[in-house]
A and B are shown apart, each in its own frame.
Chain A
Amino acid sequence: MTTRRHVLQFAIATAIVAGIAAPASAQGTIKIGELNSYKAQPAFLDPYKKGWELAVEEINAKGGVLGKKLEIISRDDGANPGEAVRVAEELITREGVDLITGTFLSHIGLAVTNFAGQKKVFFLAAEPLTDKITWQNGNPYTFRLRASTYMQVAMLMPDAVAAKKKRWALVYPNFEYGQSAAENFKAMLKKAQPDVEFVTEQAPPLGKVDAGAVAQAIDDAKPDAIFNVLFGADLAKFVREGTTRGTFKDRTVVSLLSGEPEYLDPLKEEAPVGWIVTGYPWSEIKTPEHKAFVDAYMKKYNDYPRLGSIVGYATIYSLAEGIKKAGSTDTDKLIAAFRGLKVPSPFGPFEYRASDHQATMGAYVGKIALKDGKGTMSDFKYVDGAEVLPSAEEVKKLRPAAP
Chain B
Amino acid sequence: MTIDALLFQALNGLAAASGLFFVAAGLSLIFGVTRIINIAHGSLYMLGIYLAYTFATRVGGVLGFWGGIVAAALIVAAIGALIEILLLRRIYRAPELFQLLATFALLLVINDAALWIWGPEDLLGPRAPGLRGAVEILGRRFPSYDLFLIAMGPIVLIALQLVLTRTRFGRLVRAATQDREMVGALGVNQAVLFTSVFAVGAFLAGLGGAMQVAREPANLLMDLTVISDAFVVVVVGGMGSIPGAYLAAIIIAEIKALCIGIGVVEFGGFRVNFSKLTLVAEFIVMAVVLIVRPHGLLGRAQGAIRSVAEPEEPIRPATAALKFLGLVVLGLLICLPLFAKTSPYTLVLGTDILIAIIFATSLHFIMGPGGMHSFGHAAYFGLGAYGAALIVKFLAAPMLGAIAFAPLLALAGALLFGWFAVRLSGVYLAMLTLAFAQIVWSIVYQWEDVTGGSNGVVGIWPAAPFNTATNYYLLALAFAVLSVLLLRRMLFSPFGYAMRAGRDSPLRAEAIGIDVKRVHWVGFAVAGCICGLAGGLFAFAKGSISPETIAVGRSIDGLVMVLLGGIQTLTGPIVGAATFVMLQDTIMRQVEYWRALLGATILLLVLVFPAGIVGGIMARYAAWKSR
Q: Chain A: residues with CB nearer than 8 A to chain B?
A: 2, 5, 8-9, 12, 16, 19-20, 22, 38-40, 42-43, 45-46, 75-76, 78, 80-83, 85-87, 89-90, 93-94, 106-107, 110-111, 113-115, 118, 130, 132, 137, 174-176, 179, 200-205, 207-208, 210-214, 216-217, 219-221, 232-233, 236-237, 240-241, 244-246, 262, 265-268, 270
Chain A to chain B: the 8 pairs with minimum beta-carbon distance, closest first: A42-B120, A19-B586, A94-B345, A175-B454, A114-B458, A111-B544, A213-B260, A213-B12
Given known A175-B453, A210-B16, contact A245–B543 (CB-CB < 8 A):
no
Asked whether B445 lies within 8 Å of A175 as measured between CB atoms, the reply is yes
CB of B501 to closest CB in A, whole Å: 35
Asked whether B454 lies within 8 Å of A244 as measured between CB atoms, the reply is no
B257: which of A16, A106, A210 is its contact (CB, 8 Å)?
A210
Asked whether A245 lies within 8 Å of B143 as measured between CB atoms, the reply is yes
Asked whether A89 lies within 8 Å of B544 as measured between CB atoms, the reply is no
Inter-chain contacts of A90 with B (CB < 8 A)? 345, 348-349, 585, 589
A-B contact pairs, 14 of them (CB 8 A): A19-B590, A42-B115, A42-B220, A76-B588, A82-B542, A85-B542, A86-B352, A90-B589, A110-B455, A114-B544, A176-B455, A236-B122, A236-B124, A268-B124
Taking CB atoms and an 8 Å cut-off, the chain B residues in 415-466 that contact chain A are 445-446, 448, 453-456, 458-459, 461
The reply on B327 being an interface residue by CB < 8 A is no
How far does the alpha carbon of A160 sit from the alpha carbon of B608 in the complex, in Å? 62
Given known A266-B122, A267-B124, contact A107–B141 (CB-CB < 8 A):
no
Asked whether A201 lies within 8 Å of B221 as measured between CB atoms, the reply is no
Asked whether A237 lies within 8 Å of B5 as measured between CB atoms, the reply is no
How far does the alpha carbon of A236 sit from the alpha carbon of B218 in the complex, in Å? 10
Asked whether B344 lies within 8 Å of A93 as measured between CB atoms, the reply is yes
Inter-chain contacts of B594 with A (CB < 8 A)? 39, 76
Among A8, A106, A118, find the residue whose CB has the most chain B CB atoms closer than 10 A. A118
Given known A114-B544, A115-B544, A245-B134, contact A220–B1 (CB-CB < 8 A):
yes
How far does the alpha carbon of A311 sit from the alpha carbon of B72 in the complex, in Å? 37
How far does the alpha carbon of A200 sit from the alpha carbon of B263 in the complex, in Å? 7
Asked whether B12 lies within 8 Å of A212 as measured between CB atoms, the reply is yes
Inter-chain contacts of A8 with B (CB < 8 A)? 604, 608
How far does the alpha carbon of A207 sit from the alpha carbon of B121 in the complex, in Å? 15
Given known A20-B582, A82-B538, A85-B543, contact A266–B216 (CB-CB < 8 A):
no
Asked whether A115 lies within 8 Å of B217 as measured between CB atoms, the reply is no
Q: Which of B156-164, B230-238, B274-282, B515-523 contacts A (4 or more CB under 8 A)?
A: B274-282
Encoded as 1 (CB less than 8 Å from any A CB) or 0, chain B from 564 to 598 comes to: 00000000000000010011111111101011000
Asked whether A179 lies within 8 Å of B278 as measured between CB atoms, the reply is no
How far does the alpha carbon of A43 sit from the alpha carbon of B9 in the complex, in Å? 32
Given known A12-B608, A82-B545, A114-B458, contact A216–B12 (CB-CB < 8 A):
yes
Encoded as 1 (CB less than 8 Å from any A CB) or 0, chain B from 516 to 547 comes to: 00000000000000000000001000111110
Inter-chain contacts of B219 with A (CB < 8 A)? 43, 232-233
Other than A118-B543, A232-B219, give 11 A-B pairs with Cβ distance below 8 A. A12-B604, A75-B588, A76-B594, A93-B344, A176-B455, A203-B273, A216-B8, A237-B216, A245-B141, A265-B121, A266-B124
Asked whether A246 lies within 8 Å of B343 as measured between CB atoms, the reply is no
How far does the alpha carbon of A399 sit from the alpha carbon of B345 in the complex, in Å? 32
Give the interface SS of chain B, mostly helix, strand, loop or mixed: helix
Asked whether A233 lies within 8 Å of B134 as measured between CB atoms, the reply is no
Asked whether B16 lies within 8 Å of A110 as measured between CB atoms, the reply is no
Given known A43-B122, A75-B589, A89-B345, contact A219–B140 (CB-CB < 8 A):
yes
Q: Chain B: residues with CB nearer than 8 A to chain A?
A: 1-2, 5, 8-9, 12-13, 15-16, 112, 115, 120-124, 127, 133-134, 140-143, 146, 215-217, 219-221, 225, 256-257, 260-261, 263-264, 273, 275-276, 278-279, 343-345, 348-349, 352, 445-446, 448, 453-456, 458-459, 461, 538, 542-546, 548-549, 553, 579, 582-590, 592, 594-595, 601, 604-605, 608, 620
Inter-chain contacts of A85 with B (CB < 8 A)? 542-544
Asked whether A132 lies within 8 Å of B595 as measured between CB atoms, the reply is no
CB of B321 to closest CB in A, whole Å: 20
CB of B117 to closest CB in A, whole Å: 13
Asked whether A232 lies within 8 Å of B122 as measured between CB atoms, the reply is yes
Asked whether A204 lies within 8 Å of B275 as measured between CB atoms, the reply is yes
How far does the alpha carbon of A200 sit from the alpha carbon of B553 in the complex, in Å? 33
Inter-chain contacts of B352 with A (CB < 8 A)? 86
Asked whether A94 lies within 8 Å of B548 as measured between CB atoms, the reply is no
Inter-chain contacts of A118 with B (CB < 8 A)? 459, 461, 543
How far does the alpha carbon of A93 sit from the alpha carbon of B16 in the complex, in Å? 50
How far does the alpha carbon of A266 sit from the alpha carbon of B53 in the complex, in Å? 12
CB of B557 to closest CB in A, whole Å: 10
A210: which of B12, B127, B461, B543 is its contact (CB, 8 Å)?
B12
Inter-chain contacts of A43 with B (CB < 8 A)? 120-122, 219
How far does the alpha carbon of A40 sit from the alpha carbon of B112 in the complex, in Å? 11
Asked whether A19 lies within 8 Å of B587 as measured between CB atoms, the reply is yes
How far does the alpha carbon of A93 sit from the alpha carbon of B343 in the complex, in Å? 7
Asked whether A111 lies within 8 Å of B263 as measured between CB atoms, the reply is no
Asked whether A81 lies within 8 Å of B545 as measured between CB atoms, the reply is yes
Asked whether A213 lies within 8 Å of B16 as measured between CB atoms, the reply is yes
B217: which of A42, A110, A176, A233 is its contact (CB, 8 Å)?
A233
Inter-chain contacts of B592 with A (CB < 8 A)? 38
Asked whether A39 lies within 8 Å of B608 as measured between CB atoms, the reply is no
Inter-chain contacts of A110 with B (CB < 8 A)? 455-456, 458, 544
How far does the alpha carbon of A8 sit from the alpha carbon of B616 in the complex, in Å? 13
Write the chain A residue with the least CB distance to B142: A245
Among A76, A87, A202, A217, find the residue whose CB has the most chain B CB atoms closer than 10 A. A217
Asked whether A202 lies within 8 Å of B454 as measured between CB atoms, the reply is no
How far does the alpha carbon of A115 sit from the alpha carbon of B608 in the complex, in Å? 40
Among A106, A212, A213, find the residue whose CB has the most chain B CB atoms closer than 10 A. A213
How far does the alpha carbon of A232 sit from the alpha carbon of B121 in the complex, in Å? 9
Write the chain A residue with the least CB distance to B10: A213
How far does the alpha carbon of A96 sit from the alpha carbon of B155 in the complex, in Å? 62
CB of A88 to closest CB in B, whole Å: 10
CB of A202 to closest CB in B, whole Å: 5
How far does the alpha carbon of A237 sit from the alpha carbon of B127 in the complex, in Å? 12
CB of A25 to closest CB in B, whole Å: 12
Asked whether B260 lies within 8 Å of A202 as measured between CB atoms, the reply is yes
Asked whether B455 lies within 8 Å of A115 as measured between CB atoms, the reply is no
Inter-chain contacts of B220 with A (CB < 8 A)? 42
How far does the alpha carbon of A87 sit from the alpha carbon of B115 in the complex, in Å? 23
How far does the alpha carbon of A162 sit from the alpha carbon of B345 in the complex, in Å? 55
Write the chain A residue with the least CB distance to B16: A210
Inter-chain contacts of B544 with A (CB < 8 A)? 81, 85, 110-111, 114-115
How far does the alpha carbon of A174 sit from the alpha carbon of B349 in the complex, in Å? 33
A245: which of B140, B215, B221, B446 is its contact (CB, 8 Å)?
B140
Among B112, B273, B545, B548, find the residue whose CB has the most chain A CB atoms closer than 10 A. B548
Asked whether B589 lies within 8 Å of A204 as measured between CB atoms, the reply is no
CB of A48 to closest CB in B, whole Å: 11
Asked whether B543 lies within 8 Å of A78 as measured between CB atoms, the reply is no
CB of B608 to closest CB in A, whole Å: 5
CB of A284 to closest CB in B, whole Å: 20
CB of A274 to closest CB in B, whole Å: 19
Write the chain B residue with the least CB distance to A73: B589
How far does the alpha carbon of A30 sit from the alpha carbon of B136 in the complex, in Å? 64
CB of B359 to closest CB in A, whole Å: 12
How far does the alpha carbon of A220 sit from the alpha carbon of B141 in the complex, in Å? 11
Inter-chain contacts of B124 with A (CB < 8 A)? 236, 240, 266-268, 270
A111: which of B120, B543, B585 is its contact (CB, 8 Å)?
B543
Asked whether A5 lies within 8 Å of B276 as measured between CB atoms, the reply is no
B446: which of A174, A232, A244 is its contact (CB, 8 Å)?
A174
How far does the alpha carbon of A362 sit from the alpha carbon of B601 in the complex, in Å? 45
How far does the alpha carbon of A22 sit from the alpha carbon of B134 in the complex, in Å? 62
Write the chain A residue with the least CB distance to B13: A213
CB of B28 to closest CB in A, whole Å: 21
Asked whether B453 lies within 8 Å of A203 as measured between CB atoms, the reply is no
Among A16, A46, A202, A244, find the residue whose CB has the most chain B CB atoms closer than 10 A. A244
Write the chain B residue with the least CB distance to A137: B458
Inter-chain contacts of A200 with B (CB < 8 A)? 263-264
